[in-house]
Amino acid sequence: MPDYSRIFIDGRWVAPDATTSAEVVNPATEEVIAHVPMGSSRDVDRAVAAARSAADGWARTPAKERAAALGRVAAGLQQRAEELAVLATDDVGTPIGLSRLAHAGLPLNNFAFAAQAVADSADAFEGIGNSRVVREPYGVVGAIAPWNYPMHQSTAKVAPALAAGNTVVLKPSEVAPLTIWALTEIIEAAGLPPGVFNLVSGDGPVVGQAIAAHPQVDLVSFTGSTAAGIKVSQAAAPTIKKVSLELGGKSPAIVLPGTDLSTTLSQVLQAAFVNSGQTCFALTRLLVHADEIDEAEELLAAEVAAMRLGDPREESTQYGPLASKAQRDRVTGYMRSAIDAGHRLLVGGPQRPAGPERGFYVQPTVFTRVPAQARITREEIFGPVLVVQIYRTFDEAVLLANDTSFGLAAGVWAPEQETALAVGRRVRAGQVQINGGGFNPNAPFGGYKQSGNGRENGRYGLEEFQEIKSFQL
């Protein structure tokens, strides 16, 4: 097991300046499984100084050598994939099957893709008239990652940032940080120069704030709530550094008349409740035509009632616990508020589900025929709560879909793909799932409106960490 009492600065595991720590709790058993340091601003200063010292040398390292180093990280992730999946399941509560895909598989892809992309683009430039346009690293990147997909969201920042020639200071969430210690061990074993990658744990108000405000950090990449993203932007503003934000969502699933409702609603529920609803791009608003609402409600109630909650280490478990007691209380609070407001509960609710006697479990829940201005329609709940809305025309469906301050994702189901695409073009969201199309980890990912700015993943994610310079010849 890693030594969780230390942080990683300048190529070494060192004692943090701070003496306090945070408990890491297994959400399925409610047992404390580790303690991690709650770092200080002085820890951030040390890490940024190390990253700044290493920045010029890493930027000058040939792209092929950087690619080879990232390839070694990818190989280490592959070697420890099952260990990482189990660790994430114990840390986040994600069912083991999804952990293998999202917590182990996607990070591997992030490093492998970044390695290949930078190798392919080595010394590339674009000619525009008498100009030569090149891409260069920003310098020091501050990466602040969330707790719901800690490995994927961390590596979606770290891998392209390193590939582009930046050095990195990473702050994982203190709620579910354990896989990040394993990632750091893998990066250490890959032999990156000291200071190129640094790990400082802690909370947002202290460590996150210090990273965002630090005058020697050139770019901040943050994933989390919209409220926290605003604070990151405010902290970064005095130094005019670039800020890339991947924030919240309240994403619509538009089901057009004539689809196979049984298949479609099964896909919608999967998209709504993935990782127990703790997914920023979850499709948590279902828009159903008035003529099909009765059939839709019958199908939804039956499928949700049959969902298998249980031990996330068990292969048959579909839905595990929420990641923390605070998150469970937040989600059930929304449910109670919706019931008190008179909204129609179709299935589920705030009572503890049958089954496990311990753990932060909540029932997958559907509220139906909910008005557009309801709190549960407008606010991100971040749990397995689906809100059903009724529309009567295509134009009304689009209007309802866009009636939100968010714009991270959406889904459209229609009998003909071209119809779904036409409606999807009218939805203001960064990615739109068409007739259940699968997640592509190398396609650009990011949001409109208060869901953030910038893009992650694939080539677009690499370019996010590159400055643009033009030479006039």
- Residues 238-285: tens digit of each pLDDT: 999 999 999 999 999 999 999 999 999 999 999 999 999 999 999 999
- 289 pLDDT tier (thresholds 50, 70, 90): very high
CA dist 464 and 455 (Å) reads 7
| CA distance readout (Å), 85 to 210, 360, 383 | 31, 20, 21
What's the token pair of residue 401? Answer: 């879909």
CA dist 297 and 410 (Å) reads 20
Domains of the chain from N-terminus onward: 7-247+450-472 (3.40.605.10), 252-446 (3.40.309.10)
Instruction: Give the model's pLDDT for residue 355.
Output: 84
Q: How many residues does the chain have?
A: 473
What's the token pair of residue 66? Answer: 């950087």
Percentages of the chain per state (helix, strand, coil), in multiples of 5: 45, 20, 35
Q: What is the dihedral of CA 460, 82, 320, 185, to 10 degrees?
A: -60
CA dist 167 and 161 (Å) reads 7
Q: Which residues touch 269 (CB under 8 Å, ≥6 apart)?
A: 300, 303, 304, 364, 386
Q: Which of 246, 380, 456, 464 is catalytic?
A: 246
DSSP conformation class of 291 = G
Task: Specify which residues 8 forms β-bridges with.
Answer: 13, 199
Q: Mean pLDDT across the stretch 122-143? A: 92
- Which position has the higher pLDDT, 355 or 375? 375
Q: Which residues touch 351 (CB under 8 Å, ≥6 apart)?
A: 363
pLDDT exceeds cutoff 90 at 438: yes
What's the token pair of residue 163? Answer: 């590939």
Instruction: Give the model's pLDDT for residue 124.
Output: 78
Instruction: Give the model's pLDDT for residue 1.
Output: 66
- 392 pLDDT tier (thresholds 50, 70, 90): very high
CA dist 321 and 363 (Å) reads 9
Residue 244, CA atoms < 13 Å, CB-side half-sphere: 27
Instruction: Give the model's pLDDT for residue 77.
Output: 98
CA dist 325 and 304 (Å) reads 23
CA dist 111 and 118 (Å) reads 11
Q: Mean pLDDT across the stretch 418-429? A: 98
Return phi, psi of residue 325, to 5°: -60, -40
Task: Specify which residues 22 forms β-bridges with.
Answer: 36
Q: Which residues touch 425 (CB under 8 Å, ≥6 apart)?
A: none
CA dist 100 and 281 (Å) reads 19
Average pLDDT, the chain: 96
188 noted as active-site residue? no
416 noted as active-site residue? no
Instruction: Give the model's pLDDT for residue 122.
Output: 66
Q: Tell me, what amino acid is at 247? A: L
**Torsion sign, CA atoms 170, 172, 177, 183:** negative
pLDDT exceeds cutoff 90 at 297: yes
Q: Check if the beta carbon of residue 33 is closer than 8 Å to that of residue 90.
A: yes
Q: Which residues touch 440 (CB under 8 Å, ≥6 apart)?
A: none
Q: Check if the beta carbon of residue 64 is closer than 8 Å to that of residue 80.
A: no
Nearest alpha-carbon partner for 55 in 169, 135, 152: 169
Q: What is the dihedral of CA 222, 225, 227, 228, to 10 degrees?
A: -40
| CA distance readout (Å), 226 to 403, 407, 453 | 17, 12, 11
Q: What SS3 state is found at 112?
A: helix
Q: Tell me, what amino acid is at 255? A: V
Q: Check if the beta carbon of residue 114 is closer than 8 Å to that of residue 463.
A: no
Q: Which of 82, 83, 188, 280 is catalytic?
A: 280
- Weakest-pLDDT range from 112-121, 161-170, 218-227, 355-364: 112-121
pLDDT tens-digit profile of 195-220? Answer: 999 999 999 999 999 999 999 999 99
Q: Mean pLDDT across the stretch 16-31? A: 94
Nearest alpha-carbon partner for 33 in 79, 80, 76, 93: 93
CA dist 434 and 422 (Å) reads 10
Instruction: Give the model's pLDDT for residue 186.
Output: 98
- 74 pLDDT tier (thresholds 50, 70, 90): very high
Q: Could you tell me the end-to-end alpha-carbon distance of the chain, in angstroms, rounded to an integer? A: 56
Pairing outcome for strands 252-255 and 285-289: parallel
CA dist 332 and 381 (Å) reads 9
